[in-house]
Amino acid sequence: MRESSPRRRINAGSVATHAALSLGALVMVFPFLWQLLTAAKSLAETAKVPPTFLPDTWNWSSFEEVFTALPFREMLFNSVFNTVGRTVGQLVFCSLAAYAFARMQFRGRNVLFALFLSVLMVPSSLLVLPQYDIIQRLGLLNSAPALFLPGMFSAFGTFMLRQFFLTLPKELEEAARIDGAGPFRIFWSIMLPLVRPALAALAVITAMWSWNDLLWPLIVNTDPQKMPISAGLTSLEGQFETNYPVMMAGSLIASLPMLIVYVFLQRHFVQSVALSGSKS
Amino acid sequence: MMSVFPSTAAARKASRSKPAAGSAPKSRSQRAAYLFIAPLGIGFAVFYFWPLLQTFYYSFTEFGAFGGNTWVGTDNYVRVLKDVTVWQALGNTLIYCVIGLLALPLAIGVAALLNRRGLRGVSLYRALYFIPFVTLPVAVGLVWNWLYNGDYGLINEVLEWFGADRRYWVSDPSTAVYAIGTVMVWSTTGYYLIIFMAGIKGIPQDYYEAAELDGAGPLRRFFTITLPLLSPTIFFASIICMINSLQTFDLIYIMMAEKNPAIGDTQSVVSLFYKWAFVENAQGAAAALAFLLMLIIAALTLVQFRLQKRWVHYA
């Protein structure tokens, strides 16, 4: 009796914890379930009062309608292009600069690093007007490079990778240098593989931001054929005002690729956020 | 000069810190370093530093109908400060900022629950809570618009079942800004949850064990150990949260259709910037507005740093 009562209290506590956490999880996930259920209903059924929970008949025509109403296929492709372009660009440019800032000695290093970091503080609204002008002058409006060009350069990525490069032991480089390896060889075949977890974390968070970005694509690529899916969805809204099955189908298709990436690379997502949180 | 004949001070400093350059010729490794930095440096110069200067110049000019801009001095700034819509947008933005901060206590609460010893399914919960943050904001906005729908929305159905009146949540000027703010909280809680979980993990387990031996219950442990030791993380998160919510755009853009009567009551500073810059061709005033926003962000961040002495404990 004396032993069972605290245990029972612990069990009751853990049941209450699970109940609270599950309720929260339901709030987080239910909108997506409702999105799927609505997408499978007919337009008439969504106007029923009270609403049905499950569709009377599972009807997938809204998914087809999305693709006939808008160049959704091209938009998805543009989003992929944008995401890959920005991610690859950041991995290359940020890792090179981060390595130099962390491991190499050169004049003006601290000043340059502070200058690069200052980019973090500038809100994007201070930049987009002239950025638009530059893209226009390059003749790149409504093109794939317009989407990813400015986003390939990131102060956040440089800072994050630099922190990682700083933790590596010096002996590795010195041994390689004695063997006659040049700076680029050392960077590419010795140091870069060692920061792979940081590269993965940067890649997933950049991919997410790129896929989800709205303001910039809205500005540079106004041609539906050249829009990414984020901007495309806004025009779907303009076309189908209250046709919720079609809008739910469209928004589901648009968010699914990133969700699939998330399911498979969850660990890296979590790590990238935790890393960005620990930098203070 | 320096690189050819290093001064004695520099040489002493170099030998003390055992530079990566080692025995390799210094000028060669210096050149390599600049080459490593060059691609990013050029990108920053073209797409960040130059545009920043350019925007500053724009804020003192007016764009002609046929291109070219004329110098108007501080007219744009005067216009921005005198414009009622700017002040309204500023007010809305501050409301988003305050509502957005509600995600922090929610995330801390969930993180504390997940920190319970021996709890199962922690990574599943974390994964589920994070989903809204990963999801395309435009899609999120559409889904919530449907939930908020005045005629057939699920939220009204549920509220009616409890005896409340139905409302047109996103087109009623008195509720729209809160409706959008709620979605902001919903979609960012998971992000802060992960930050706080990482922060809590850094708190030594001994503290909890010692407190437990002293007979401190879970609530007491939370308020005397978790919360104070987490305060640096909370400080960091509140700065991120503030900077992000001051720049809210996506959700408002998607949730507020063009003819929505509550547009003025919901538009943020960035929404107004977008409208001026890319819809109404008032680039000069838009540039001035962007600088005003930056000043506000800087000022509020400074205030936060000032206030931190009062509540942030660095172990």
Q: What is the pLDDT of residues B192-226, one digit of tens each?
A: 999 999 999 989 989 999 998 999 888 899 999 99
Residue of B nearest to A36 (CA): B143
Task: Indicate if the pLDDT at residue B52 is higher than 90.
Answer: yes
CB contact under 8 A, B198 and A134: no
Tell me the average pLDDT across B21-25: 48
Q: What is the pLDDT of residues B152-175, one digit of tens each?
A: 999 999 999 998 888 999 999 999
The DSSP symbol for A7 reads H
- Residues A192 and A176 sit within 8 Å (Cβ to Cβ): no
Closest by Cβ to B55, choosing from A21, A121, A126 = A126
The DSSP symbol for A51 reads P
Residues in chain B closer than 8 A to A180 (CB atoms): none
CB contact under 8 A, A158 and B40: yes
pLDDT band at B25 (very low <50, low <70, confident <90, very high): low
Task: Indicate if the pLDDT at residue B10 is higher than 50.
Answer: no
CB contact under 8 A, B274 and A215: yes
Residue of B nearest to A179 (CA): B24
User: What is the share, in percent, of chain B residues with pLDDT greater than 90?
Assistant: 74
- For chain B, what is the mean pLDDT? 89
Q: Which ranges in B7-136 belong to alpha helices (H)?
A: 8-16, 26-44, 50-58, 75-82, 84-101, 103-114, 122-134
pLDDT at A10: 61
Neighbour tally for B307: CB within 10 Å: 12
Task: Indicate if the pLDDT at residue B108 is higher than 50.
Answer: yes
Task: Indicate if the pLDDT at residue B60 is higher than 60.
Answer: yes
pLDDT at B314: 79
Task: Indicate if the pLDDT at residue B246 is higher than 60.
Answer: yes
Q: How far apart are CA A29 and CA B232, in angstroms?
A: 30
Q: Which ranges in chain A belong to alpha helices (H)?
A: 4-39, 43-46, 61-69, 72-103, 109-118, 128-137, 144-148, 155-166, 171-178, 183-185, 192-194, 196-212, 215-220, 229-240, 244-264, 266-278
CB contact under 8 A, A247 and B257: no
Å between B97 CA and nearest CA of chain A: 15
pLDDT at B259: 84
Residues in chain A closer than 8 A to B269 (CB atoms): 125
3-class secondary structure per residue, B154-220: HHHHHHHHCCCCCCCCCCCCCCHHHHHHHHHHHHHHHHHHHHHHHHHHCCCHHHHHHHHHCCCCHHH
- Read off φ and ψ for residue B62, nearest 5 degrees: -125, 140
Q: What is the ipTM of this complex?
A: 0.91
- Residues B61 and A133 sit within 8 Å (Cβ to Cβ): no
- Read off φ and ψ for residue B166, nearest 5 degrees: -80, 150
pLDDT at A278: 55
- Using DSSP, how many helices (H) and how many strands (E) does chain B show? 17, 2
CB contact under 8 A, B290 and A116: no
Give the SS3 label for residue B244. Answer: helix
Closest by Cβ to A258, choosing from B119, B136, B144 = B136
Q: What is the pLDDT of residues B271-292, one digit of tens each?
A: 999 999 999 989 999 999 999 9
pLDDT at A8: 59
pLDDT at A280: 38
This prediction has a pTM of: 0.89
pLDDT at A265: 93
pLDDT at B1: 31
Q: Which residues of chain A have pLDDT under 50?
A: 1-4, 279-280
Closest by Cβ to B138, choosing from A94, A116, A230 = A230
CB contact under 8 A, A105 and B270: no
Q: How many whole angstroms from its chain centre is CA B229?
A: 23
pLDDT at B4: 37
Cα dihedral: B153, B155, B161, B165 (round 10) = -90
The number of C-alpha atoms within 13 Å of B2 and in the hemisphere containing its C-beta is: 8
Neighbour tally for B122: CB within 10 Å: 14
Those residues with Cβ within 8 angstroms of residue B265's Cβ, 6 or more apart along the chain or in another chain: B88, B92, B173, B174, B176, B177
Considering Cα of A182, then A185, then A188, then A190, what sign does the dihedral take?
A: negative
pLDDT at B12: 42
- Read off φ and ψ for residue A127, nearest 5 degrees: -115, -25
Those residues with Cβ within 8 angstroms of residue B159's Cβ, 6 or more apart along the chain or in another chain: B165, B166, B167
Distances (CA, A) of A30 to B98, B121, B214: 25, 19, 42
Q: How many whole angstroms from its chain centre is CA B164?
A: 34
- Say which residue the tokens 């140091």 belong to: A191
Distances (CA, A) of A145 to A157, A167, B188: 20, 35, 30
Å between A78 CA and nearest CA of chain B: 15
Residues in chain A closer than 8 A to B14 (CB atoms): 105
Task: Indicate if the pLDDT at residue B2 is higher than 50.
Answer: no
- Residues B224 and B211 sit within 8 Å (Cβ to Cβ): yes
Those residues with Cβ within 8 angstroms of residue A137's Cβ, 6 or more apart along the chain or in another chain: none
Q: How far apart are CA A143 and CA A126, in angstroms?
A: 23
Q: How far apart are CA A261 and CA B226, in angstroms?
A: 33
Q: How far apart are CA A18 and CA A21, in angstroms?
A: 5
Neighbour tally for B225: CB within 10 Å: 18
User: How many CB pairs lie under 8 A apart between chains A and B?
Assistant: 289
Residues in chain A closer than 8 A to B287 (CB atoms): 126, 129
Å between A14 CA and nearest CA of chain B: 7
Å between B41 CA and nearest CA of chain A: 8
Does residue A50 have a cis bond before it (omega within 30 degrees)?
yes
Å between A97 CA and nearest CA of chain B: 4
Written as six digits, the tokens of B161 are 């079942």
pLDDT band at B19 (very low <50, low <70, confident <90, very high): very low
